[in-house]
Amino acid sequence: MGKTYEIRDPIHGFIELNEWERDIVNHPVFQRLRRIRQLGLTDMVYPGAMHTRFEHSLGVMHVATKMFDQIVKRRQDFLETELSFTAGGLERDRVLVRLSCLLHDAGHAPFSHAAEGLMDKDPTTNKSYKHENYSAAAVAFLMQDVIENHPLNQNYKITAQEIADFLNGRVALGRVLLWRSLVSSQLDADRADYLLRDSHHIGVAYGRYDLNRLLVTLTIALDPETESPVLAIEDGGVHAAEALILARYFMFTQVYFQHTRRAYDHHSVQAIKHLLMEAQRGGDLANKEAFPSPTSRENMEQYLKWDDWRVLGMIHRGLASEHGDILLNRQHHRRVFETPEVPNTSDLEFAEQVFAGLDDLVSFVDKAESSWYKFESADIPILLRPGQGDEELTKLSRLSTVVSGLKAVSRTRVYVAIENKEEALERVRVLRQQKEQKEAQA
């Protein structure tokens, strides 16, 4: 594959690239990721959270390659006899996986997931586009030359559209969908990297787990219900799988859904919406408050001009409405009420009373299920080998009381402007007192 290059990484040591991959990294579409923070404005709460999608993308490619190699090493006979893979096909798939994982976040909006709610709707589904759709469009419309015409692609004939289809999860890819699990599943390289990376930069231990143990127990098996291949963990890696699920849970509750961090998500979205409306006023787009849809080269060129640097500069110049001023002066709206992580009927009823009681003071309501990093009941396939040659696929939740006991976080919070905080807290206090008096009389 010619000359190789190494990039020093704080999580994985050295990440190796060949000349083709280095040229892709040097492409303007990928270089833009240096200007997209991994966690938006999380540094307003955790000052170390200044890392970017650039380094994360390199990390995902690195981890996905390790996963791929481990699966082939341990299950090559299964891949060839049960799934009809060939040595040449596996070699080509490995390249496709590396390039796709490298480019999986190429279409992220400013401040990453925070601004994903400003993506336009797909008229064919009436659902909002996701960053994966923008990543696929960036590859298909703007990176064809560096992908298809590189000398190192002569033996593989990988196309930009093939990578775009991989990122979009198109069924037409057939067996390659197995490898897409490496970038989008309960065991994907994406979360495997961001949990460790976010923990490192933020300075917390919540996201740490044993990646090495996870890798050496990673395998594939046939799902008996669908008869399709799935990523799984051998039974020797059950505790490593538990640790991965717990890392996601703790990072969600302590970092991704941290109350002040979520306030900054809200303000940044409102600021970007205002900037979009002003920048696109008088243009051809029907929805002036949304990013251009990922449906043409022209739209993607306009979309990719939006990055953190541009938005932060406009905020600094006072162009981003009152929400920009709030961000600039760190005067975010304050949380005045929240339910438990898993509210019961009584909690939900009281929440409704609070909403009604605060009424005119409420600035916004935040729900855990609306967060990109929402923690839902998660499970991981576990491959058991009770006897010589025998295999049985089960679920981690059936083997782990820790995982089976976890419930989806569905906490709701209410925020008010900083100048209304004391009045709002007093109203909540009175409502809570009234609730306790009624319960005492019952």
pLDDT tens figures, 328-342:
999 999 999 999 999
Rounded Cα–Cα distance for residues 102 and 10 (Å) = 17
Rounded Cα–Cα distance for residues 395 and 398 (Å) = 6
Residue 166's nearest CA partner among 191, 193, 139 is: 139
pLDDT, mean of residues 68-93: 91
pLDDT band with cut points at 50, 70 and 90 for residue 73: very high
Rounded Cα–Cα distance for residues 34 and 58 (Å) = 11
Q: For residue 100, what pLDDT is reported?
A: 97
Q: For residue 376, what pLDDT is reported?
A: 67
pLDDT band with cut points at 50, 70 and 90 for residue 290: very high
In the chain the domains, ranked by start, together with CATH numbers, are: 4-106+143-257 (1.10.3210.10)
Per-residue pLDDT tens over the stretch 187-233: 999 999 999 999 999 999 999 999 999 999 999 988 888 888 889 99
Q: For residue 184, what pLDDT is reported?
A: 86
CA angle 177, 182, 185 (to 5 degrees): 85
CA angle 121, 125, 129 (to 5 degrees): 35
Per-residue pLDDT tens over the stretch 407-441: 889 999 999 999 999 999 999 999 999 999 988 88
When the pLDDT of each residue in the chain is averaged and rounded to a whole number, the result is: 93
pLDDT band with cut points at 50, 70 and 90 for residue 389: low
Q: For residue 227, what pLDDT is reported?
A: 81
Q: What pairing do the DSSP bridges indicate for beta strands 121-122 and 127-128?
A: antiparallel
Lowest mean pLDDT: which of 182-186, 259-263, 388-392? Answer: 388-392
Rounded Cα–Cα distance for residues 412 and 371 (Å) = 11
17 membership: H or E segment, kind and range: strand 13-18
pLDDT band with cut points at 50, 70 and 90 for residue 397: very high
Distance of CA 291 to the CA centre of its chain: 19
Rounded Cα–Cα distance for residues 54 and 106 (Å) = 9
What pTM does this model have? 0.94
| pLDDT of 1 strictly over 60 | no
Q: For residue 226, what pLDDT is reported?
A: 82
| pLDDT of 52 strictly over 70 | yes
DSSP state letter for 120: P
Lowest mean pLDDT: which of 162-166, 168-172, 293-297? Answer: 168-172
Asked whether the beta carbons of 306 and 110 are under 8 A apart, the reply is yes
Percent of the chain with pLDDT over 90: 81
Q: For residue 149, what pLDDT is reported?
A: 97
| pLDDT of 380 strictly over 80 | yes
